[in-house]
Structure 1
């Protein structure tokens, strides 16, 4: 994610795929402020300003270089009652799980699918 890449409108979250299992993961901040990955979209760290977006971009670059994740990019979101919800269908769809099995994946529980969209 270089400086010449056009950033989506704020607010944004960082979405990626775990390198080992391919599952969609989201950047979040633990209790001491360290950035980590979570599979829970409701916990995704939301950047509301350029400083936050730059922090997420730097975390993405470090994690890609360390071969922890692939395809990391910022996603513009709306803030729903249960947390951030991607504004675009493609990203909402990626967060749900297998499309041929609605009884599996995040869409089977109280995940992002239940938040509207």
Structure 2
């Protein structure tokens, strides 16, 4: 299973491609690709976002679901989902629903 991550150009925020091919700020709202065809579709939409200067660093992210929530397999992606690891008062981790990176 995979999701598509990127960084929004206007503010650098990590975003994920969600339902309706909209960029969302919560990893839990990301569309989960369950087969190769869906992964290719996500990448095509991401490349469109890159070409239209909406996002950069478009990346397919390997995930698993844990208790119904999306959990990236790589630490880098868990940190991107939670926000800067040195300032708990800034970024996504400052929001009530944020999860710990580790």
TM-score (norm 1): 0.79
Alignment-derived partner of residue 17 in structure 2 = 27
Alignment-derived partner of residue 56 in structure 2 = 70
Query: Using the alignment, how far apart are the partners of 1:68 and 1:80 within structure 2?
Result: 30
Name the count of aligned residue pairs. Answer: 101
Match of residue 54, structure 1, among 22, 40, 64: 40
Alignment-derived partner of residue 78 in structure 2 = 92
Write the deviation string for residues 52-103 of structure 1: whole angstroms up to 9, x where unpaired: 1011010011000000000011000011225211001011111211222113
The gaps in structure 1 that reach 5 residues or longer are 1-10
- Compare 20-29 and 102-111 and name the one that shifted more: 102-111
**Which protein shows a greater Rg?**
1
The gaps in structure 2 that reach 5 residues or longer are none
Question: What is the root-mean-square deviation of aligned Cα atoms in Å?
Answer: 1.5
Write the deviation string for residues 28-67 of structure 1: whole angstroms up to 9, x where unpaired: 01xxxx2100001111100010111011010011000000
Alignment-derived partner of residue 97 in structure 2 = 110
Structure 1 stretches (4+) deviating beyond 3 angstroms?
none
TM-score (norm 2): 0.90
1 or 2, which has the higher helix percentage?
2
